[in-house]
Amino acid sequence: MKQTLRFWQIAAEGGFMLACALAATTVFAMPAFAEDAQLATAAQPATQDDDASQTAEVTSQADLDNAAEGSIVKLKGTITTDLTVNKKLTIQAADGAVMKGTLNINADGVTISGVHFALDGTTGAKNSMSDNGKTGLTVKNCTFDITSGADKLNAQLNGAWLGYGANDATFDGNVFNIAMPGIDHSYVGINIVGASVKNTTVSNNQITFRKDAEPKASAHFLIANGNKSTSGEYGLSGFKVTANTISNQTGLAAGKSNTYGVGVSNAEDAAISGNTFTGLYMAVKPSMWPNEAPSKSIKLTGNAFSGCHIGIMMRTIDVQPGAVISSNNDFSTTETPYAGHKGSNALVWQSGDGTLYPAVSDAAQSGKVAFTLVSSIDTLSDADSVAKGQDVTLDFNGHAISGTLTNNGSLTIKDTTGLSGQKSSIRLDGSGTTTIEGGTYDNDEILKYLAKDHGVLVRSNNGDQLFTVLAKKDVLASAKGKVTTENGDLFFGTLDEAKDYAEKNNIDEGNVSQAVYTVDFDTQGNGDVASITVEAGKSIHLPAVPEVFGYTSGAWYIGDKKVESEFTPTSDVTLVAKWIKAVDKGNSNNNGSSTSTGSKKNVASGAVSKRVGKSLPQTGDTSAIVIATAAATGIAAIAGGIVVENRRHQA
């Protein structure tokens, strides 16, 4: 048992080390809470309809041992010794009674109601209550106090401790008043050690963290550790945490408070719903004990994260891909809704059903298509990639993102928030096609930027942000908003930020030019007509159709449609010559030829062919304005989103 207690001492302290690591890298200003916070109102002693004569008073172990199986007993006075419950009892408390020792549960079906527990260092107790693997424990309407006086014990303290096999336990309607530790050990409201703990329900509890002295370590409401290290095995199942209120009343800003809500690891199925987390450093996280097998399912639904530093922190080593589902949670006043830790990707790509994925490849492998970024990413990993045959849409959702994104399939990038003042820089790699979607843009405004900066830019909806493509290779932009680049750099941000990014990363913006289309002419063996190249958006005057003896009225056609003499191509194309045969009406002319007023028919009507590979497909999307410029070739307006098609360089 000593090893188990030490086990959890280290596990909870891991949260403190995590807090220090994160706080050292990011400091956020948060509103302070009341300095002299009051203790939460203590739960009232339970009442029973039973006759008082049937309720035995307990002040010692002998009193407990003498109680009848299934009876009700009441703790009386201040109890400073440890007590062990060896039979099924309902334990209540008389007015003013305080349990300062440890109440050990060594029987199934025990109920504890309305008892005031206090860990103040006067008795040496480190747990107010301990369930040593018994089932059916119910703890309701109790008060658990951990005060700064317990610092003298120099140990981790737990309000309630559940050991291996403590199944079907319920904590409902209790009050936890937890002081910040003034020593290098953490204080915990409920500490659960798995290896098999099933069907734990923690609901309707009120938890308050307070500062009696300068804190040196972390304070937690609930730590639940499955304690299985083999993948596919789970020490926690049927774990439910619902409708609890956890608040930081230390007077410390959330980012410096070292207060934690729920920590859970190695769970087969965990449901965290309807809770309110206020002012915490981190609301939901793993237990941080090493070598825990990843959780299979953690569902977070309808929670309110109010003024927290971090809402949910889960690492790729903590959960299986797709294990975490977050829906209808309120992060409106939380600094960082989702976070990772120490090089491990956060769960940042969210599908429409709320499922979170740590990397683009994990998201793509789910078979779903659309994903929204729910938190900024400092550096994309090798796993942020789209494979051949996959079709993925990523919405940056106003968050910053940087690194290399490899696309060998079909990728669409958009930002439904208009970037929200954020910026991103991405290197595109791979052989797939990437589409960048925009909104409605002002062509005239973009021209002003392009005239001096020679880039491919898209102005955002609010008018002060730009999508910018900086290419190390040539970039081609067509009249329908398509851009092709070989391993180019994609930057989302303001124009000045784009310049700085290019300069700091030694990026040559490259030569940006309009797409050039080739018009070929098929005379069907009646002479040669030279091909014509033309920049996208410009017109050409078609050459004359060669004359053919016995035919008249030659013209150029695409299929059955005659092409006018002024022609504007939208892609590479081959025009086919067609003629009308002259028919003799019977009137001889001096030159021996004849004409006819009878019917005429088309001849030499070969099929129209298009060359493939010299231009990009058209989208027809005119919702955005994109401009492509070249340093020496001028400017042209482009409509629609941007498509970036990455082609690996062939040696």
Q: pLDDT tens for residues 243-268? A: 999 999 999 999 999 999 999 998 99
What residues does each domain of the chain span? 2-311, 438-507+623-646, 516-603
Q: What was the pLDDT predicted at 514?
A: 56
pLDDT at residue number 566 = 93
Which has more pLDDT, 26 or 349?
349
User: Do residues 356 and 319 touch, judged by C-beta distance below 8 A?
Assistant: no
Looking at the DSSP bridge assignments, the partners of residue 482 are 643
- The per-residue b/e assignment along 221-235, b for 16 or more CB within 10 angstroms, e otherwise, is bbbbbbbbeeeeebb
Mean pLDDT of the chain: 74
- Per-residue CA distances from 343 to 350, 381, 447 (Å): 20, 10, 41
CATH level 3 topology of 2-311: Pectate Lyase C-like (2.160.20)
Q: What is the mean pLDDT of residues 135-153?
A: 94
**Which segments of 170-274 are extended strands (E)?**
170-172, 175-179, 187-193, 197-198, 201-203, 206-210, 219-225, 236-237, 239-242, 245-249, 259-265, 270-273
> What does the pLDDT read at residue 341?
56
Bridge partners, residue 630, by sequence: 634
Q: How confident is the model at residue 42 (pLDDT cuts 50, 70, 90)?
A: very low
Looking at residue 337, its pLDDT comes to 86
**Which of 29-38, 80-89, 344-353 shows the lowest per-residue confidence on average (mean pLDDT)?**
29-38
Q: What was the pLDDT predicted at 315? A: 77
**Total-model pTM:** 0.65
Residue 92 forms beta bridges with which residues?
A: 74
Annotate 175-189 with b (16+ C-beta within 10 A) or e (fewer). Answer: bbbbbbbbbebbbbb
Is residue 625 over pLDDT 90? no
The Cβ of residue 286 has, within 10 Å, a number of other Cβ atoms equal to 28
Q: In what order do the strands lie in the sheet with 201-203?
A: 56-58, 72-75, 90-93, 111-113, 138-140, 170-172, 201-203, 239-242, 270-273, 298-301, 324-327
pLDDT of 583 = 74
- Take residue 316 and report the two structure tokens written for it: 């790729």
Residue 533 has pLDDT above 50, yes or no: yes
Given a cut of 50, whether residue 497 has pLDDT beyond it is: yes
Give the DSSP per-residue string, 613-643. Answer: SSSPPP----S-EEEEEETTTEEEEEES-EE
Residue 367: per-residue pLDDT: 87
> 344 or 559, which is more confident?
559
Position 585 pLDDT exceeds 70: no
State pLDDT tens for residues 295-325: 889 999 999 999 999 999 887 788 887 888 8
pLDDT at 643 over 50: no
- Specify the higher pLDDT residue, 478 or 504: 504
Q: Which two tokens stand for residue 108?
A: 């199934």
CA distance 352 to 370: 7
600 CB-side CA count, 13 A? 15
H/E/C letters for each residue in 29-75?
CCCCCCCCCCCCCCCCCCCCCCCHHHCEEECCHHHHHHCCCCCEEEE
pLDDT band at 468 (very low <50, low <70, confident <90, very high): low
Q: Compute the distance between CA of residue 91 and CA of residue 117 in angstroms, rounded to an integer.
A: 13
Say if residue 611's pLDDT is above 90. Answer: no
Please determine, for residue 347, whether its predicted confidence score (pLDDT) is greater than 50. Answer: yes
Q: Residue 407 has what pLDDT?
A: 85
pLDDT over 50 (residue 396): yes
262 closest CA partner among 321, 182, 192 = 192
Place of tokens 């994609």: 490
Do residues 324 and 316 make contact, with C-beta atoms less than 8 angstroms apart?
no
CA–CA gap between residue 119 and residue 320 (Å, rounded):
38
Tell which residue, 159, 308, 142, has the closest CA to residue 221. 159
Q: How far apart are CA 640 and CA 651, in angstroms?
A: 33
206-210: strand order across its sheet: 78-79, 98-99, 116-119, 143-146, 175-179, 206-210, 245-249, 276-278, 304-306
Which amino acid type is present at position 636?
A
Among 146-150, 169-173, 414-418, 546-550, whose mean pLDDT is lowest? 414-418
Residue 490's pLDDT band (cuts 50, 70, 90):
low
pLDDT score of 374 more than 50:
yes
| Confidence (pLDDT) at 505 | 63
| Lowest pLDDT segment from 373-377, 378-382, 561-565, 583-587 | 583-587
Q: What average pLDDT does this structure show over 328-353? A: 79
> What is the model's pLDDT at position 270?
93
Which range (147-161, 408-422, 481-495, 590-604) has the least confidence?
A: 590-604
CA distances to 173, 209, 280, 613 from 254, rounded to whole Å, are 25, 12, 5, 57
- Helices 443-453 and 495-504 sit at what angle, rounded to 10 degrees? 30
* Contact status, residue 518 vs residue 572, Cβ threshold 8 Å: yes
Q: Is the pLDDT of residue 452 over 60?
A: no
Q: Between the ranges 18-32, 112-126, 568-582, 632-646, where is the mean pLDDT highest? A: 112-126
Q: Are strands 259-265 and 282-285 parallel, antiparallel or unpaired?
A: parallel
Q: Given this model, what pLDDT does residue 483 score? A: 47
Q: How confident is the model at residue 383 (pLDDT cuts 50, 70, 90)?
A: confident
